[in-house]
A = this chain, B = another copy of it.
Amino acid sequence: MITLPGEDRDLRAADEHPDRADRVRRALAAVLPEGALVTTPASVERYSHDEAEWAPYAPALAVVRPRTAEQVQAVVRVCLEHGVPLVPRGAGTGLSGGANATAASVVVSLEAMDAVLEINTVERYAVVQPGVINDDLRAAVAEQGLWYPPDPASSPWSTLGGNVATNAGGVCCVKYGVTGDYVLGLQVVTGTGELVRVGRKTAKGVAGYDLTALLVGSEGTLGVVTEITVRLRPARPPEQTVVGHFASLVSAGEAVAAVTRSGVVPSALELLDRHCLRAVDDWKHLGLEADAAAILLARVDSPGVAGDAEAETIRAAFDEGGAVWSARSEDPQEAEALFAARRLAYPALERLGPVLTEDVCVPLGAVPAMLASIEDVAARYDVHIANLAHAGDGNLHPLLITPPGDEAARARAQAAFEEIHATALALGGTVTGEHGVGLLKRGGLVAEVAPAVIAMHHAIRVALDPAGILNPGKVVAEPEQEV
C-alpha cells in the first residue's frame, strides 16, 4: 500500500512545530504581495488535494498564489532555506494525487499566473503563463485562425501548467499527439532556485539535452514551470462524426481494431459504456439512449471528399466489429451532445460515489482482450466499473465506483484496480496513458519498469533537486519508501 511522503520526516504536521511553521509563513509573506499567502485552515484544505479521491493528502503549512516567475523563485528559495517541501498545482483536476499536499508542505498554486503573453501567427506558437485554462488558450488562438490540439476532458477547467506537468492527453491525440508534442520551451524555477529557460521558439533545435521533454510529465518533481511556449497548428476543416452502437464492450473493442486495420487515422475515437451514458443523462437530461452496451464516437477531419471517404471507412469498420447500429451523424447538434456526454462522464459518475480511475493504455490489438478482462474483473470482485476510453489510442479509463462509506467495497475495488494494472502490463501496455503516476500509480510504475530504470529516476531527481524539496514522494517514492 501507499505511504504518504512526509510521514517519516522531521517536519511533521505544522502544529507539531508551530515556531518553524510561523517562521516559514513569515518568510513567505516577506517575499509575496498582499493576498498571495493563504494560511486559514479551510482555504488551505481546499488547495490540499486534486480530484483523485482515493489518494492520501496531509495538511499543508501554507498555500501561495504567486503572480510572477520571480515570486515563484522567491518561494522556492524560502523553501530551500527552511528545508520545506513544496507542491506545485494548477486547477487541481489531476486524477492521480500528483498535486496532493504532503505534511507541512507549501502548496504553490499557479492559478493567478493566467496571462496569454504572446500569440505569434507567423511562427505559430503561443507563450502562456502556467495558470491559463486550456479552453481559454484554445479560444484565444482560434481567434487568430490557429489551433492548439491537446484537449483533455478537463479542458474547461484544467490549466496549461497542469497539462504540462502530467503530459496530458485528450480526445484528438489519436491523430494529433499529446501535450508534450506541442511544448517547445519552458521557463522553470529549478530545485536549486534558479530561474531558467529551456527549449526554443524555432521549428527545430537540438542544442543540448531535451530538458523540455524531461520536464514535461515530471509532475512538479524536477522544477516549477512558470512559462510555457506551445506550438500551434493552422485551424483545421470542420469534423464529421460517426457513431456506432454495440451489444457488448468486446465487440466495440473489435470495431476499434477494425478501424486501425483500415489505415484511416480518425481525429477522435472514443468509447462510452451504458453506465457512463446513463449517469450523464440522469444528471444533464441530454436525451441519450442507453440501450447499447457501449457506443463508439469517431471523428474525421480530412477536407472534402477525402473526409467523406474516411467517415464511410470508419462506419464500415464499426459494422465489421459487430455494430448493431452505425451512422454518420449529419446533425452537428447531436454530434456535439455526444461529445459533451464524453466530457461530462467523469463528473457525472463522481456523483455516484468515490471513483478510482484507471488509465491503462494497451496496444490497439489488445483492446478487446483488455475490455473483456475488465468485465471479468468487475464480476469477480463485485465492483461497479464504468468504462470510458480514448479507444483509438488503446487508452482505457475503467472507473471503479464504490458506495460512499462501504469499506469492504473499497478494498475489493483496490484489488480490482491492481489486477487491471497487471493485465495491462501482461498485454504489453502501461499503467498510465495520460493521467500520470502521482501517488496512485507509484506501485504500478515499479511493476512496469526495471529497478535500474527506477534508479535512473532517482538519480535524475537528486541531480536536479538535490535538497529533495520538489513534490517529494510523487512519481517515485523515496528510496527507503519503495512500494
Mark out the residues of chain A between 164 and 196 whose CB falls within 8 Å of any chain B CB in the assembled complex.
Answer: 166-167, 169, 173-174, 178, 180-181, 190, 192, 194, 196
Closest to A431 in B: B207
Q: Is A434 an interface residue (CB 8 A)?
A: yes
- Decide: A203 near B174, CB < 8 A? Known: A263-B145, A365-B122, A452-B196: yes
User: With A122-B257, A450-B196 given, is the CB distance from A167 to B304 under 8 Å?
Assistant: no
Asked if A204 lies at the interface with its beta carbon under 8 angstroms from chain B, I say yes
Chain B residues within 8 Å of A364, by CB? 122-123, 203
CB neighbours (8 Å) of A233 from chain B are: 265
Partner of A196, one of B178, B434, B436, B453: B453
What residues of B have a CB within 8 angstroms of the CB of A363 in the complex? 122-123, 201-202
A205 partner residues in chain B, CB cutoff 8 A: 361, 430, 432-433
Report whether B432 and A207 are in contact in the complex, using a CB–CB cutoff of 8 Å.
yes
Most buried by B among A206, A304, A434, A448: A206
Contact of B261 with A211 in the complex, beta carbons under 8 Å: no
Checking B361, B441, B450 against A204 with a beta-carbon cut-off of 8 angstroms, the contacting residue is: B361
Chain B minimum-CB-distance residue to A303: B306
Query: A169 to B204, alpha carbons, bound, how many Å?
Result: 8
State in angstroms the CA–CA spacing of A42 and B411 once bound together: 69
How far in angstroms is the closest Cβ of chain B from A139? 19
Q: Known interface pairs A198-B453, A201-B428, A453-B196. Does A167 touch B260 (Cβ–Cβ under 8 Å)?
A: no
The stretch from A285-293, A320-328, A402-410, A455-463 touching chain B is: A455-463
> In the docked arrangement, what's the CA distance between A213 and B179, Å?
14
For the complex, give the distance between the alpha carbons of A197 and B216 in Å.
20
Interface size, chain A (Cβ < 8 Å): 85
A279 to chain B, nearest CB (A): 25
From A208, A217, A450, A460, name the one whose CB has the most chain B CB atoms within 10 angstroms. Answer: A208
Q: Give bound CA distance, A395 to B207, whole Å.
A: 13
Q: Which residues of A, 460-476, contact B by the 8 Å Cβ criterion?
A: 460, 462-464, 475-476
Complex contacts, A394 vs chain B, CB 8 Å? 202-204
A209 touching B217 by the CB < 8 A rule? yes
Q: Find the residue from A123, A190, A362 having the highest chain B CB count within 10 A.
A: A123
Tell me whether A413 is interfacial, beta carbon within 8 Å.
no
Q: Judging by beta carbons under 8 Å apart, are B450 and A197 in contact? A: yes
Residues A210 and B304 in contact, CB atoms below 8 Å apart: no
Query: Chain B: which residue is nearest A450 at the CB level?
Result: B196
Say yes or no for A1: interface residue by CB 8 A criterion.
no
Given A201-B428, A206-B430, 13 extra CB contacts under 8 A:
A122-B257, A167-B206, A167-B210, A173-B203, A203-B364, A203-B395, A206-B436, A209-B457, A210-B216, A211-B457, A213-B213, A304-B306, A462-B463
Ordered by A's residue number, 22 sampled pairs between the chains whose C-beta atoms are within 8 Å are: A145-B263, A166-B206, A169-B204, A196-B450, A197-B450, A198-B449, A198-B453, A200-B430, A202-B430, A203-B392, A204-B395, A204-B430, A205-B361, A206-B217, A208-B437, A209-B214, A209-B222, A209-B460, A211-B453, A211-B456, A214-B460, A460-B460
